[in-house]
Amino acid sequence: MQKRTRNLLGVLALLSLGTALGGALAYRARSWPFHDTTVSALDAIPGNALIAGTADLRALRASTLGAPFFHDGREIDGVGKIRELCGFDPLDQIDEIAFGVPPSDEGGELGLVASGKLQDDDLVRCATRVIEARGGQPVVTPMGSFRTVRDTSTPSGIELAIRPGGPVLLASGSYLRTMIDSADGRTPSVLQNPSHTEAARRVEGQAARITMVLTPEQRRQIAEEVASGGDPDAQRAPAASIQSAALGVALAENVGFHAVLTCASAPPCEAIGKFIERARDAHASDRGALVSLFASVLRNATIQAQADTLHLRLQAPTSSVAFIVEQLLTLRARRTAAPPPRDALPRDALPPEPPPHDQPSSAPRPPGSAVPGAAPATAGSASPSAPPPSETLRPPRSSATSATSAASAAPRQAP
């Protein structure tokens, strides 16, 4: 199954279960275009985006949920405190953020946009200093009405694009060029996409909003990918009938979530609703602090199918949502944390240094190990320094892949 399709199915499952992390964002608006400033971050999200979302950081800073995430003294890994390096913290100047996920036939996995009271010269200098502090080689290049900053010492291809007055873009490859064209008005943005606009209008809440719109071709690809796993009824799978999805978040005394799925017909939405109810009830008695809290929050969700739409509404205490978000961020940090450098470890925790090649070690050798000075291994024999294939480290299974299993496990229903 292709990575992009796995990610897409993962998003479908997350939206269906109402567990997207939109509670970590806040947005204050009436409807798309969700902004009251001249320049909207959504202006730079291309109109053919598969997924688009936005949040107003001003409202988030003022909320009980978001305030703890905007403390002073923010740091960048390997650099230190950003204010000490740049003389200011760029996050303090950002009013609105947005993101877009391109369709599968375009390069890049994610594009980020920020708008606000941004000073382009200061941001270019700050980005350059950050790259230099990490030992990189910054290069500034004009592109349309923007200037891009990239590190030529790394093959990642990620670039920062900055325009006077904003917005600021972060993406890689051809998708960054497409975002610049949208921001400069040469191509339509997601604000001109009626399908995203309608999906956004369906959800309630004056908070973060995320929309996803699937074309008939994308729905066909989902069905084919599910069928490639040996499912003969993939074409009738409820997930393959979803046309759009949206999630809205409202911040008040509690955090309110409202998710809406639009299906090709009524039966698939009814089947998805029953699947969500069973999944919620199945985890009602799970143990573990985080899982138990998650289950207790979802227990209060109301699920209602209305013709070809499915509505999921949930009210959760702010403290519970904050705890879940903090725990998820902590888990993510632990998974992505790099091992400490050798010099930073206590000496008694370090493995012994290997002896020089011309000096045999006095340490006892396990039976069957090679003797220094012995003839090299013959062709086809295993290298003593290389682990066998069964011990080769593999990356952990991604959450998107796990979500794919949940989506494909939904009951089959004829349209």
Convert the pLDDT of each residue in 39-67 to its tens digit. Answer: 789 999 999 999 999 998 887 888 878 77
With CA atoms as reference, report the closest residue to 15 among 266, 206, 171, 213: 213
CA–CA distances in Å: residue 21 to residues 26, 154, 173, 208: 11, 30, 27, 10
| Highest-confidence segment of 109-113, 191-195, 367-371 | 191-195
Instruction: Report the Cα 113 to chain-centroid distance in Å.
Output: 14
Structure tokens at 154: 């790394």
pLDDT of residue 232: 58
Is the pLDDT at 91 greater than 50, yes or no? Answer: yes
Q: Strand, helix or coil at 167?
A: coil
Q: Provide the sign of the torsion angle of the four alpha carbons 105, 106, 107, 109, taken in this order.
A: negative
293 phi-psi bin (left φ>0, alpha ψ -120 to 50, beta other): alpha
User: In whole numbers, what is the pLDDT of the chain averaged over residues?
Assistant: 74
pTM, 2 dp: 0.68
Mean pLDDT of 128-146: 94
Q: Cα separation of 126 and 234, whole Å?
A: 50
Q: Is the pLDDT of residue 138 over 50?
A: yes
Where are any strands of DSSP class E within 168-282? Answer: 168-172, 209-213, 242-251, 254-263
**Cα separation of 77 and 67, whole Å?**
22
What are the tens digits of pLDDT across the range 382-395?
434 444 433 333 33
Q: What average pLDDT does this structure show over 177-198?
A: 95
Report in angstroms the alpha-carbon separations of 44 from 99, 107, 123, 191, 281.
9, 16, 18, 9, 41
pLDDT at 321: 84
Closest CA to 264 of 301, 205, 227, 223: 223
Whether the predicted pLDDT of 3 surpasses 60 = no
Burial class (CB in 10 A: 0-12, 13-18, 19+), 181: middle
Of 318, 239, 300, 230, the residue nearest 272 (C-alpha) = 239
Confidence of residue 316 (pLDDT cuts 50, 70, 90): confident
Of residues 231 and 154, more confidence is placed in: 154
Confidence class for position 231, pLDDT limits 50, 70, 90: low
* Percent of the chain surpassing pLDDT 90: 37
Rg (CA), the chain: 25
Mean pLDDT within 286-304? 74
**pLDDT at residue 236, rounded to an integer:** 60
Tell me the pLDDT band of 414, cut-offs 50, 70 and 90.
very low
Extract the runs of DSSP E, i.e. beta strands, from 9-137: 51-56, 75-76, 80-81, 94-101, 111-116
**In angstroms, rounded to a whole number, what is the distance separating the alpha carbons of residues 207 and 57?**
10
Residue written as token pair 């809205």 = 248
- Preceding peptide of 367 cis, ω within 30°: no
Contact 85, 136 (CB under 8 A): no
356 to each of 137, 338, 350, how far by Cα in Å? Answer: 36, 29, 18
